[in-house]
């Protein structure tokens, strides 16, 4: 399985700051990938400037170069970055899989919204990480 990380990345004066406050400034402690998820050799980290992992990044090109047809979207925040990345993937023709035990949200309602929209609007497959690992 090919693994890509999308790393929320912002610089001083970012247009998201009036909405969310200053967060994940490039190079800061909060911008770092946590130790438990440090990328392994060969795993790509793509810095993203907006909610959608495809917006103004190389993610789509890199997936196409590897002839990838299915994406498994994990991460946080479920109804923001996860949902927008899943939606963008679906709109580009990828099959989207959303393991619900690999996403987090600010509230349970927000998480349920992301799951519902991914399933209903983007026809994503809702599952668990264990169910995916059993299929391999």
Nearest to 95 by CA among 83, 86, 108: 86
Tell me: pLDDT of 134 over 90: no
pLDDT band at 133 (very low <50, low <70, confident <90, very high): confident
Residue-range definition of the domain harbouring residue 93: 4-135
Burial class (CB in 10 A: 0-12, 13-18, 19+), 124: buried
Q: What is the CATH number of the domain that holds 65?
A: 3.40.50.850
Quick one: angle between helices 108-120 and 83-91, nearest 10?
A: 10
- State the total domains in the chain: 1
Q: What is the pTM assigned to this prediction?
A: 0.93
pLDDT digits (tens, 9 = 90+) for 9-43: 999 999 999 999 999 999 999 999 999 999 999 99
Q: At 83, give phi and psi (nearest 5°).
A: -65, -45
pLDDT digits (tens, 9 = 90+) for 55-97: 999 999 999 999 999 999 999 999 999 999 999 999 999 999 9
């Amino acid at each position: 399985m090919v693994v890509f990380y999308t790393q929320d990345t912002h610089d001083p004066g970012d247009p998201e700051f009036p909405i969310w406050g200053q967060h994940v400034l490039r190079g800061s402690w909060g911008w770092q990938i946590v130790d438990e998820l440090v990328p392994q050799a060969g795993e790509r980290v793509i810095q993203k400037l907006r909610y959608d992992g495809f917006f103004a990044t190389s993610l789509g090109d890199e997936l196409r170069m590897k002839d990838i047809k299915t994406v498994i979207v994990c991460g946080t925040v479920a109804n923001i970055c996860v949902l927008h990345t899943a939606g963008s993937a679906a709109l580009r023709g990828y099959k989207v899989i959303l393991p619900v035990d690999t996403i987090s949200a600010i509230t349970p309602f927000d998480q349920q919204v992301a799951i519902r929209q991914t399933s209903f609007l983007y026809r994503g497959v809702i599952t668990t990480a264990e169910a995916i690992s059993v299929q391999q």
